[in-house]
Amino acid sequence: MTKNLSPLILTLTVSLLTMGCSEKNTFINWTYPNGKYKALIMSYDDGLVDDIALAQLFDHYGIIGTFHLNSGFLDTKTIWNKGKANEVLQTYLSRDTLKHVFKNHEIAVHGTYHKALIGLSDEEILEEINVDIENLTALSKNKISSMAYAFGSTNENVADVIRTTQLTNARTVKASYNFELPKNYYLWNPTCHDNEAMNYLEEYISLNSPTLSLFYVWGHSWEFRDTLRNENISKFCDEIGNRDDIWYTGAGTFADYHASLKALEITDKEITNPEGNGIIYFREKGQLKSLDPGKKLIR
């Protein structure tokens, strides 16, 4: 989106965004909606019936989940690790209930049949992902924007294929162990799996900086059949939920907002929010303001 801008504008844009719009720029601090600087994404895979209780837990704490579904398995049962000591019957969600279960959450792609994408041809990757997008669009009646790689199977080549779909972002299973915004939305490394999230909870809750940050947690709701794990996720949500200083959001909404921020046209004289962009929030000399699409801010 910056290809038509002059090098000067590009430099200013990049410097504003990479510095986190903080103390080096005393004029303005970009924020998330409603002036928040912190955000939480909770990203859950596979679409088993255990998602129902997790979505309800999130609802209780005002948290928005991003739920990655394998549409080819909806309404079915399967046995994982068949014949082994850890054999388990898994029941997938039913198509009819998706809109109800996830009414406050984002429905997202995990591949129609949970295929590892490394090793597939580009055509096979697109078949696995685009059919899932079509199915989930029909079932949710919403635009599908986000994805999580099944088995975490991805690389630069796979990500470049995903980039050609309508999806705006795709999550890996590689922990970043930080609260930074992603550089590549198609190889989006989360902060950590939920079994490590408690280690970062206090640090994030106490974080108080006028810089955009993100705590991105991923996992599987079926793992919460374990009593200790269930207690931990409940405690985590109890601590991090219902806070005034955290933006609870789906991955797609987050990616859209960050894309809108990056699309701002910035010079030393003015900042323009282009037509078709999203509304942008910021603090000017400490005061919360917003900039609608098609509007300019004179500096």
Which residues are at the interface with Zn ion (CB under 5 A)?
A: 45-46, 150
Comparison of 69 and 197: residue with beta carbon closer to Zn ion: 69
- Smallest separation, CB 158 to Zn ion (Å): 15
- DSSP strand E in the chain: where? 28-31, 38-46, 65-69, 77-80, 88-91, 106-109, 146-148, 169-171, 192-193, 215-219, 246-248, 265-266, 270-272, 280-284, 287-291, 296-298
- Smallest separation, CB 46 to Zn ion (Å): 5
- Smallest separation, CB 173 to Zn ion (Å): 9
Would you state the structure tokens that stand for residue 32, as one six-digit string?
A: 């998330």
Q: How far does CA 270 lie from the centroid of its chain?
A: 30
Instruction: List beta partners, residue 42.
Output: 65, 217
- Smallest separation, CB 151 to Zn ion (Å): 7
Comparison of 36 and 68: residue with beta carbon closer to Zn ion: 68
Comparison of 64 and 150: residue with beta carbon closer to Zn ion: 150
Comparison of 108 and 159: residue with beta carbon closer to Zn ion: 108
Comparison of 90 and 232: residue with beta carbon closer to Zn ion: 90
Closest residue to Zn ion, Cβ-based?
45
Rg (CA), the chain: 20
Say if residues 219 and 191 touch (Cβ distance below 8 Å).
Answer: no
- Smallest separation, CB 6 to Zn ion (Å): 45
Say if residues 281 and 290 touch (Cβ distance below 8 Å).
Answer: yes
